[in-house]
Amino acid sequence: MPKVLVAPSILASDFSRLGEEIHEVEQAGADWIHCDIMDGHFVDNISFGPAIVGFVRKQTKLPLDVHLMIEHADHYVPRFVDAGANSITVHVEPEAKHDVGKTLRQIRDAKCRVGLTLNPETDFKLVEPFMDEIDMLLVMTVHPGFGGQSFRPEQMEKVKRAAEWNRSRPQKIDIEVDGGINPETARVSIENGANVLVAGTSIFRAGDYAKAIRDLRNE
């Protein structure tokens, strides 16, 4: 079994002490830092942009996992690359208004890891044509836009399909889940084949970050 990676989403952190929050989750055993970028168009919320990602970059050596919930991702990818992203994940839905294949190549050419994601309502069929082009599939387990929502177990069908795809190919991709991840839903996700857990609320609202991260890994 591959090691389960934990990626705290700083969306749920205390922004007034963002630097310390990042140091604390790094000390607590986080593997990646997940940055949720929202534009108020593709999702109904606005979070932060490349300047904050650049600040996060200066706080940690951990890989920065940038999740773009935005329209026209192709226009903004270079700014997140310059800000220090290690992986960039874009949405497959037509509402994201970009040429998905082209944006994935753009991310690859920028030497970042290539991620693709789909909303709970989106059919797995939409990501299938791109499975050979990506390093990671992110299965959204809530509708994106806000932290603190409940996990949608029916999305495990997509995790299973990605895991099946991995079994049939020599080149394995990471399978990441995002939204409503707590120790119980982490266990369900891992059982179905996920190996990267994004968690905001269950880490940053916990008193002890190290314990919260261990509990997510079911250690």
Q: Is 206 in the site for ligand DX5 (CB under 6 A)?
A: no
b/e burial code for range 151-162 (CB count within 10 A of at least 16 → b)? bbeebbebbbbb
b/e burial code for range 74-104 (CB count within 10 A of at least 16 → b)? bebbeebbebbbbbbbbbbeeebebebeebb
Stretch of 39-47, 53-61, 125-133, 177-185 contacting Zn ion, by CB under 5 A: 177-185
Q: Is 8 in the site for ligand DX5 (CB under 6 A)?
A: no
Site string (22-41) toward ligand DX5, x via CB under 6 A: ------------x-x-----
Q: Is 178 in the site for Zn ion (CB under 5 A)?
A: yes
Catalytic positions, written as ranges = 36, 178
Q: Compute the least distance from the CB of residue 167 to Zn ion, in Å.
A: 26
Q: Compute the least distance from the CB of residue 120 to Zn ion, in Å.
A: 13
Among 38, 42, 65, 67, binds Zn ion (CB under 5 A): 67
Nearer to ligand DX5, 132 or 145 (CB): 145
DSSP code of residue 149: P
Alpha-carbon gap, residue 162 to 134, rounded angstroms: 12
Residue with tokens 């168009």: 41
Q: Is 178 in the site for ligand DX5 (CB under 6 A)?
A: yes
Alpha-carbon gap, residue 213 to 219, rounded angstroms: 9
Q: Give the count of residues interacting with ligand DX5 (CB under 6 A).
A: 22
Q: Is 145 in the site for ligand DX5 (CB under 6 A)?
A: yes
Binding residues for ligand DX5 restricted to 59-98, rule: CB under 6 A: 67
Q: Is 161 in the site for Zn ion (CB under 5 A)?
A: no
Alpha-carbon gap, residue 165 to 59, rounded angstroms: 36
Crossing angle for the helix pair 156-167 and 183-192, to the nearest 10 degrees: 40
| Residue 12 binds which of ligand DX5, Zn ion, none (CB < 5-8 A, kind-dependent) | ligand DX5
Contact residues for ligand DX5, defined by CB under 6 A:
9, 11-12, 34, 36, 67, 142, 144-149, 178-181, 198-202
Contact residues for Zn ion, defined by CB under 5 A:
36, 67, 178
